[in-house]
Structure 1
């Protein structure tokens, strides 16, 4: 839906329900992702954002409702099921192997093997992985002095960029990003936000989960608001304000159904 172009949903949650004991985390939650957009998912703590995301990336099975991909109902068999159809996640803790270099992290769990007998013996093709990593970082404008350096030696912003590049390298449909600028400085936050725009411009949709409302308004095309396990409002970012977003989050206003 980039640039206001109306299209059919790429990924959609309809009436999702999830209960943990006596706690109903999702109460018929809806959520929509359109092709080639950045859509922000916002809400106060306890609104159900994490649970909703976990259902959409295959980490948690909903108790009710349905998830549709390209209009067809799907049931992911774990995160690998979502990854198999081009859905990746950048978690807040980044899930990087700090003792490995950036290239190795890009291929973590998807390592390339050498051809022939060496491959049969499990020998990694480090040259091919390093070349693809350099290419992936360049596509997002990620500048690393040494792709062979352990991730532990990189700055917070560089680590975040490595995690984003890893997800984008494998995602063909959607990348979920959970608080991608948390604990970063101003310059590093700017670089991460620019990476998000570049991901969208490559045709991969981005779901941004964030508490930083100014950043949401600066990078998102649309905003969907979750409150008490339900979607209560949808906005076009260009047509809304910080006050409206806060009002929707707190229950002061609701516009569900008004902004597609």
Structure 2
């Protein structure tokens, strides 16, 4: 049996500059690294997706472990652990949905109007517009030219299967790839359930899976013992 520890990245930036950690996200990552070091956690390898927010989270956490003499002997990058490209999906589908749905168009205009204000709550809120765009993408009813849902879930499965067969591997990834991997433990391929799981994932949470020859087992989900301040327990 091998242990796979999935780590969601820290809180990211605003809607118009999402792929970087916010100051809160950096604090979350420091807290996680320090907590893992106090626990004496030793990873045999660390794998990070190719997104900036994933790499920044890994760098901060692994630096804390290195200070405690617990740095993993190898750090690998595998872009198959990337989140789906929400910007590409949004840019491809939002105009099509807006053209035929007045309520959607009004919601989209509210989002676009609020993006210029960094303090606007729209940057931290998942809206009905976001849900409609993602659901349309999952259904695959429109030709978009972007990665499909089935291609996305397929490459996440490939990434899991490609992990080093070592006792404890850390994977710095995002909410939906982690949710896909959790659902796989139960043979679940239902997109709605996967997206509900992803929506409940806290930033820098730990999810632990046991990888056996015959499949995956879920050991824990959404652990955030390291986030000892309520303000640090964020979803977006």
Query: Is the helix fraction higher in 1 or 2?
Result: 2
The higher radius of gyration belongs to 1
From the two aligned structures, give the one with the greater strand fraction. Answer: 1
TM-score, structure 1 length as denominator? 0.29
**Higher RCO (Cα < 8 Å, 6 or more apart):** 2
